[in-house]
Chains A and B, each alone.
Chain A
Amino acid sequence: MKNITLLGSCVLAIAVVSFLVLGSVGLRTVLGMFLVLVFPVYFILDSFVKDELEKIVFSLFLGVGLVPALIYWPATVFSLRWTVFLVAVLLGLVGFWLRRKNSKS
C-alpha cells in the first residue's frame, strides 16, 4: 500500500484510456473489473505478499480466475448481479479484517 498514489494514478490512466477507446461502457467494464475482481483480492494478498509487483500481478490473475469461481454456484440460485456485488463486498471485508488482524498482532 506504500505506492498508493502511483497505483491510483495508474488506475486513473487506465480508466481514461478505457473511456477514450470504448466510451462509457468501456470505462464501466474496466473499472468494474478492477473493483469486483481485482481490488478485493489485492486487499487479501496485502496481508501475505510483501512485494508490490507480486501483489498487483497475483491479485489480477487470481481475481479474474478465482472470483468468478466463487460467484458461480450462488449465481445458479440467486441473481447474478446481486451475487457479483455481494461476493466483491465479502472479499473486501475479508481483506479488511485480515489487515486489522495483522496490524493488531
Chain B
Amino acid sequence: MKFTKQHDIIALTLLFVGMLVLWTLPLQSSSAPYGEVDAASHYAIAEFSYAQDRAMNSLPTFIDKRYGHDNKYKPHTLWYPPPFHMGLAVGSVVGGSSDVPIYLMNSLFASLIVLSVFFLLRKLYGLPIAFASALLLLFSMRDILITIWGQWPERMGFAYLPLVLYCAYAYIESFLNNDEKPVYLVLLSLLLSVNLFIHPMDFFHTIAALGLFTLFVLIKERKWCFNTKHLVGVIVLFFLVISLFPTQTLNVFVRLGYGGSLDQPGKGEVGRLFSWFDPQSGDQGVPSSYFSYSEMIAPSWTALFVWLGVLALCMRRNRRDLLMLAWVSSLYVMIHLDFLGMGRVHRSLSGSAHIFFPLMMLGVWYLVSFVPLRKDVKSLAKFSGIVLFTIVLLFSIAPRGYTALKDAYPSVTRVNSDQLALTDFLKGPTVPEDATLLHLGSLSLAKTRWIRTIGHRYVKDKGELSEYLYIIFDYSDFARIGRQDLIEGMIQLEGAVQNSSTVLYSTSAIRVYKQ
C-alpha cells in the first residue's frame, strides 16, 4: 500500500484535531482553572506575566513565599527556564485572556508527544504503524492523568525525545552514506536545548536515549559516525543556546547535587534490576494504580506484543531498530536509577506509553510477517493486522481516557464564582502585596493555591488564627456541598474574631478580616 506526503499531512492534521478536541475536554465543561498544586504554580507564572504585560525575572511576593528557594542557584528567581511559561503567556496574548488560552496551550503542549511519536514512526516504519501508535497515545491514561494533575512541563518535555533521536538517526544515516547533512545536527542541538528548557528530567532521559543509540550504532558499524568538526560545532551551539537562561540552567545542575543520593528502597538491590517497577508504598504523590500496566497503558495481554516488538527489533537490528531499542533501554535505565539511589524514578515511568504503543504495533507487524502468505497479500495482511489491533485496543482504552478527561475536576473541586469574586478583591489595593492570609473553609490545598494564584496574594490553608493578620472565612464550598455542621463551626470561629477585627470584604459567602 503506497502512502504519499499528502497522506502524512492529513494524518498529522487529524491527530492535531484529536488533541484539540479530546485534551481540552476538562476546559470545555468549565473555564475555571483546575489541577493539583503544581498546576497552580505553572499557571501563576504565565498568568501574572500576561496580567502585568511583562515577563518576570524576580518572583512576585505571592509566588516567592512558596517557590523563592526552588531555584537553588539564584533564589527568588524563576526556577524553571522561562520558555514553557512564556509559551503559555503567548497563548494568553494572542487569545486575549488568561484562563482558556493558558489551558488550551497547555493541552496542546502536553499532547505534543502524539505528534512526535507519529513523526518518528512515520519516518522509520511507515504511516500505518505511526498513525496507529499516535492514535492510541491520544488515550494514554498515564499521560492524561499527569497532565490533569498538573505536571505540565514534564509532559511537554517528553515530546522532544523522539525528535532528537530522529535527528541523530537522519544525520548518522547521511554520514554513513557519504552524504552528510549537518542540518540534522543543528536541529538536534536546538531541540535538545529546548528539551532542557522545558524539563530537566526529560532532558536527561533524552540524553540517555541518544547516548545508547550512538553506542549501539558504534558497536554495529564498528566505526565513528560523526564528523568531529560538526559535532564540536553543535555542542558549542547547544551551550550557547542554554546560556540564554544561565540562572535556571545552573539551577538544574545545582539541584542534581541535592537529589544525588537518596536513601531509597531498592538502592543497591540487584533484584531491582530484574523487576520493572514495584508499587511504591511511601508518599510519591501518585495513586497505586499509577504503577499498574493494565490501568495506565493497555490490558495485560498487550504486554506480549510489546515483548514481540522488542524481540523483532533485537533479531533484525538495523539502524532504525537500534534507535527503538535505545529508546526502550533508556526508559529502563531511567526507571532503575533508584538502584543507584538517584532521583524520583517513578516520574520517568510517565514516558512508558510513548514507546510501548509503537512496540506493540511493531510486534503485530512482525507477527503477521511470519505467516506464510504471498508477498502482495502479506503487506495487506500486515496493514489489516494493525487496523484490527488498533480497533480492539481503542475499544479497551478510549472510553476510560475520554471519561478521565471529560469528568476531570467536577464543579466543587474548582474555584467557584464566590471565590473568583474574592480574588478580584485580593488583587486590589486593600490587602498589601506582601500580606499572608489564612483561608478558612478550604476544601483542599489545591483550591487555596488557586485562590492564591488568581488573587496574586499569598494565601495559606493551615495555621492558628493568632498567627495571621488577614483571615478569609469562606463558606462558599461548605454551602455547595451542604455541610451545615462545618458552616456552624466556622461561624463560631468568626464570632471570636469579629469583635477585635475590621471587615475588609463581605459577601453572603465570604468575609475577609484584618485583625
Contacts and interface: CB of A to CB of B under 8 A. Distances in A.
Interface string A36-62: 110000000000110011101110111
B8 interface: yes
Given A10-B13, A62-B191, A75 B6 contact: no
Contacts of A3: 5-6, 9
A29 B96 CA distance: 8
B104 A17 contact: no
A80 B57 CA distance: 13
B20 A21 contact: yes
A103 interface: no
Given A22-B28, A76-B54, A7 B9 contact: yes
A28 B94 contact: yes
A32 B94 contact: yes
A29 B83 contact: no
Interface in B89-125: 89-91, 93-97, 100-101, 104-105, 108-109, 112, 115-116, 119, 122-123
A98 interface: no
Chain B, interface size: which category?
A: 35 or more
Given A49-B183, A69-B86, A80 B93 contact: yes
A33 interface: yes
Given A18-B20, A57-B119, A66-B194, A72 B82 contact: yes
Interface string A10-41: 10011001100110011011111101110000
B204 interface: no
A61 B160 contact: yes
Contacts of B105: 29, 33
Q: Summarize B's interface: helix, strand, loop or mixed.
A: helix
B50 A80 contact: yes
Contact of B183 (A35, A48, A57, A61): A48
B57 A76 contact: yes
B53 A25 contact: no
B159 A61 contact: yes
B90 A33 contact: yes
Contacts of A48: 183
B488 to A, nearest CB: 41
A81 interface: yes
A29 B20 contact: no
Contacts, number: 173
Interface in B1-44: 5-6, 8-10, 12-13, 16-17, 20-21, 24, 27-28
A64 interface: yes
Nearest to B22: A21
B426 interface: no
A4 to B, nearest CB: 11
A53 B122 contact: yes
A73 B5 CA distance: 38
Interface residues of A, number: 48
B55 interface: yes
B59 to A, nearest CB: 13
A48 B54 CA distance: 34
Contacts of A31: 94
A25 B17 contact: no
A96 B334 CA distance: 43
A8 B252 CA distance: 41
Contact of B54 (A60, A67, A75): A75
Contacts of A72: 55, 82-83, 86, 244-245
B96 to A, nearest CB: 6
B187 A29 contact: no
Given A22-B100, A29-B94, A68 B108 contact: no
A37 B260 CA distance: 37
Interface string B50-84: 10111111000000000000000000000001111
5 contacts: A10-B13, A22-B100, A58-B163, A72-B244, A83-B55
Given A29-B94, A71-B90, 19 more contacts: A21-B24, A26-B24, A29-B95, A32-B95, A33-B105, A53-B8, A53-B9, A54-B119, A61-B163, A61-B194, A66-B190, A69-B86, A69-B241, A69-B245, A72-B86, A75-B54, A76-B54, A76-B55, A83-B55
